[in-house]
């Protein structure tokens, strides 16, 4: 079942290129957010929001893992669909919990990540990915 979930679907060549551009582009952008959080965390500042009640430090670590770690996996196209799940959850929490009382323009940034992540989840990583090489 896991193999079926992770295996890329066959797409037309032009769609494979589009998925590659989307996958790498959006992940590189998110990587900058994750890297900034990682360096701050490693610098000793562990103060962070606790939007779902699991503690500031655990919330911080999970966010770093999603924004930094999962972004690297998506750039490589390795375990892409599985790596997208934490990112989708993180961005939905940011939009609906962290910025719940804020105006829409504060939620928009997180939502602009959610939609490409959902599209990538539906299409898979495409032909130009480690997943495609693993699941031939």
What is the DSSP track for 19-66? HHHHHHHHHHHHHHHHHHHHHHHHTT------TTSS-HHHHHHHHHII
pLDDT tens-digit map of 67-79:
999 999 999 999 9
Pairwise CA distance, residues 1 & 14, whole Å: 28
User: Taking the complete model, does pTM exceed 0.85, yes or no?
Assistant: yes
pLDDT tens-digit map of 39-88:
999 999 999 999 999 999 999 999 999 999 999 999 999 999 999 999 99
Pairwise CA distance, residues 78 & 7, whole Å: 10
Residue 5's pLDDT is: 73
């Amino acid at each position: 079942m896991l193999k079926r979930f992770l295996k890329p679907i066959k797409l037309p060549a032009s769609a494979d290129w589009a998925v590659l551009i989307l996958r790498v582009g959006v992940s590189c952008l998110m990587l900058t957010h994750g890297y900034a959080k990682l360096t701050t965390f490693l610098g000793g500042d562990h103060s962070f929001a606790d939007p779902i009640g699991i503690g500031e430090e655990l919330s911080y670590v999970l966010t770093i893992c999603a924004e930094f770690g999962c972004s690297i996996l998506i750039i490589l196209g390795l375990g892409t669909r599985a790596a997208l799940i934490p990112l989708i959850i993180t961005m939905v929490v940011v939009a609906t919990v962290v910025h719940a009382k804020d105006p829409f323009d504060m939620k928009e940034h997180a939502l602009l990540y959610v939609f490409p992540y959902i599209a990538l989840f539906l299409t898979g990583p495409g032909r130009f990915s480690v997943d495609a090489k693993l699941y031939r």
